[in-house]
Amino acid sequence: MRFFDFIALCLCCLIWGANFVLSKWMLTDLALPPFFFAAMRFSLVALLMSPFLFPLPKKFGLLCLAAFCVGALHLAFLYMGLKTAPASSSSIVAQMLIPFATILSVIFLKERIGVRRGIGIMGALLGVIVLIYNPDSLGFDVGLIAIILAFLGLAIGSILIKGVGDVSLWQYLAWMGVIAVPLLGLASALFETDQINLAKDAGWKLAVGVLFTGLLASIFAHGQYFRLLKSYDVTLIVPLTLMTPFWGVALGVLVREEPFGKQFVFGAALMLVSVYVIARRSKIVVEAS
């Protein structure tokens, strides 16, 4: 894996880690309706990316399906889950993306994992569990089922991206936004209430949340994720996203002064070593280009 691409994926995971914390705060502390907030996020994406909608690619139907799975489907279930599910349980359940994507890529893309990458994936998963495990905040919530469905949708979308053909990341983002806005807007109108008053109460905080999630989490991070999936195996890129919960916990330590102890050090060390093992397993080794 090229050094530039590895750094780009690290930045994506940093942004997603911060986005996870921010979204949880927007949905719980500010009590924003999940479908409404997701629709606001994708409205910004659709507006900014609209110049790239045309001309339509040859595999337009497949592009729409991939964009739907990664965009509207993933975010709708994720925000529904984050609204009620405990933070630690949510972070652990979110790692279901790795087995989902790995199984699908082996079945449909005929990718091979290999012993070393398999050990790296298991080590990274274990490191993440050690890193975020907190028995005091664990518990079952129906929101966890929604989070599982969210990452199943993301896994399916990740597989579909491999087959979209000659599509730029800008066109992919444009259609992801255009498809998501009416679907999420309709869901909000049917199942949520008092959206306008809650948005007014949130004020500038909502604006900051939409800008961060739209510009950084969607346009930059998901755009780079799309680009990397087209260049590398799913079984390489998806396991490396295990860096996301590491950044979420690290930001909590740095910004919110959360406890920093042996559990954090051991979990982070195990995860980072495993990430290196996963990256080294690819045919193109992590090196400067």
Tens-level pLDDT at each residue, the chain (289 residues): 788 999 999 999 999 988 888 888 899 889 999 999 999 999 999 999 999 999 999 999 999 999 999 999 999 999 998 888 776 667 777 878 888 888 899 889 998 877 877 888 888 788 877 776 666 655 556 788 898 899 999 999 999 999 998 899 999 999 999 999 999 999 999 999 999 999 999 999 999 999 999 999 999 999 999 999 999 999 889 888 888 877 877 776 676 666 667 877 787 788 778 877 777 655 444 444 3
State how many domains the chain has: 1
| Bond prior to 182 in cis (omega within 30° of 0) | no
Whether 2 contacts 289, CB under 8 Å: yes
CA atoms of 270 and 268, how far apart (whole Å): 6
34 falls within a domain: yes
134 falls within a domain: yes
285 falls within a domain: no
| Chain centroid to CA 71 | 10
69 falls within a domain: yes
289 falls within a domain: no
- Token digits for 187? 């869901």
286 falls within a domain: no
CA atoms of 273 and 88, how far apart (whole Å): 22
- Token digits for 92? 């652990």
287 falls within a domain: no
Distances (CA, A) of 260 to 40, 199, 256, 271: 35, 35, 11, 16
102 falls within a domain: yes
Range of the domain at 231: 3-280
* pTM of the complete model: 0.85
